[in-house]
Amino acid sequence: MAVPLETLTPDPDNARAHDERNIQVIMESLSKYGQQTPLVVRGGVILKGNATYQAAKRLGWPEIAAIPFDRQAELVRGYKLVDNRSAELATWAIDVLKDELQKLTAEGQDIGKLGWTDAELAALEDAVPEKLESDATLLNSLGFIAGDPKTKIERGQTTQLGKHLLICADPIKEVPSWLKFLKEGDLFCPFPGPYILQTHAANKARLILVQPDPFIAGYIVDRFNETDGRNLEP
């Protein structure tokens, strides 16, 4: 139920404090994802969602979704505390959290706006994994020898690697060299790194790799050959 913001009153006895960072994160969330959970109100006073109300007000929202508290008045105080406390008692499943953040990062989303500071994200990176399900079979298949790549690639050369295409050309100055290969659904990858064909992206789409440096192009081919295209999650 949409309620005009001006008809609502923040709870004068709210036991939860919301600092600026908290409000900013909620503002980001409301702006990006919308309001997915309604406020709970009784007689116009907000029992649940006081910070959401503040954030919505600062965003200039005229109204907000709210539902009435449908229990007896004597249950109000207890409800307000247990609602906050029950959320507070939850903990993060670190492995899953890291995995989700990793996926968001890979999708190019700014995880800095989800409520973690850079320092907190860095601390999370250093956290000891609770489980690491890898037998390193693919890592062990890579040849880590410093020096020239085994595969010699020349400028202007086009190499088919499975369904993918590697073009050794300047992505900016030699556009005709790769543009003709690009089809709908392909992923255009200029200046790709050496493990590009081992990423999940390479499973999902055909990659058009345009690498001006024959040295890096040679390494891309070497890595592809070493892993024999085995870039699927086991």
Partner 1 sequence: MKLTAGTWNPDEPFVYFLAAPLSFIETAAPHHASCLIAVNELMRDDWRDHLDRLIDSGAKILVDSGAFSIAASHARKHEIPLEEAFKMPLESLDGFPELMSRYKEVIDYCQDDVWGTVEVDLGGEKQKRRTRTLFEDKGGHPIPVFHPVGDSSAYLDELLNTYDRICVGNLVSASRYARKRILQTILERRRGTPCRWIHLLGMTPSEVLCAFPFESCDSSAWLNTVRWSGYIEKSCLRSVGPLPKNFQYQLGDRESWNLGVQMGAIGASFLERNLRQYRKAVPYV
Residues that bind partner 1 (CB under 8 A): 95, 98, 101-102, 105-106, 108, 110, 112, 118-119, 122, 124-127, 129, 132-140, 142, 144, 146, 170-173, 187, 189-196, 198-201, 209, 211-213, 215-216, 219, 231-234
Among residues 156, 160, 94, the alpha carbon closest in space to that of 123 is found at: 94
Output the smallest distance, CB 97 to partner 1, in A.
10
Q: How far apart are CA 138 and CA 231, in angstroms?
A: 8
Nearer to partner 1, 38 or 193 (CB): 193
Nearer to partner 1, 13 or 19 (CB): 19
As beta bridge partners, residue 47 has none
Nearer to partner 1, 30 or 169 (CB): 169
Output the smallest distance, CB 87 to partner 1, in A.
25
8 Å CB contact between 66 and 27: no
Distances (CA, A) of 199 to 102, 130, 192, 195, 227: 13, 23, 11, 7, 12
Output the smallest distance, CB 51 to partner 1, in A.
20
Amino acid (one-letter) located at 157: Q
Nearer to partner 1, 75 or 175 (CB): 175
Show the tokens assigned to 119.
């320092």
Q: How far apart are CA 40 and CA 49, in angstroms?
A: 7
Output the smallest distance, CB 52 to partner 1, in A.
22
